[in-house]
């Protein structure tokens, strides 16, 4: 599991490309946290899930059963 907090100065395309590289090198799940836009992207080899303010983000393949409210995480 990799989690990355994305800075407002980061280029989103670069962040997603890096996440794809993690997945291609055996990482099973990547969380990209965008605090400024209050979004969390959970990426696996097969899917990208988007969680917004008011949602509960959850793991898909690692730490099965773990979840956290987006608003609580970004508080």
Q: For the domain 2-73, what is the CATH code?
A: 3.90.1570.10
DSSP state of 28: -
Query: pLDDT truncated to tens, each residue of the chain (75 aa)?
Result: 999 999 999 999 999 999 999 999 999 999 999 999 999 999 999 999 999 999 999 998 888 889 999 999 999
Q: Are 68 and 61 in contact (CB under 8 A)?
A: no
3-state helix, strand, coil in the chain (%, to 5): 25, 35, 45
pTM summary value:
0.91
């Amino acid at each position: 599991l990799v989690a990355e907090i994305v800075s407002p100065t980061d280029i989103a395309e670069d962040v997603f490309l890096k996440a794809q590289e993690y997945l291609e090198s055996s990482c099973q799940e990547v969380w990209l946290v965008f605090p400024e836009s209050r979004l969390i992207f959970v990426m696996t080899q097969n899917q990208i899930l988007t969680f917004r303010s008011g949602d509960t983000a959850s793991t898909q393949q690692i730490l099965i059963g773990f979840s956290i409210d987006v608003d609580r995480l970004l508080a």
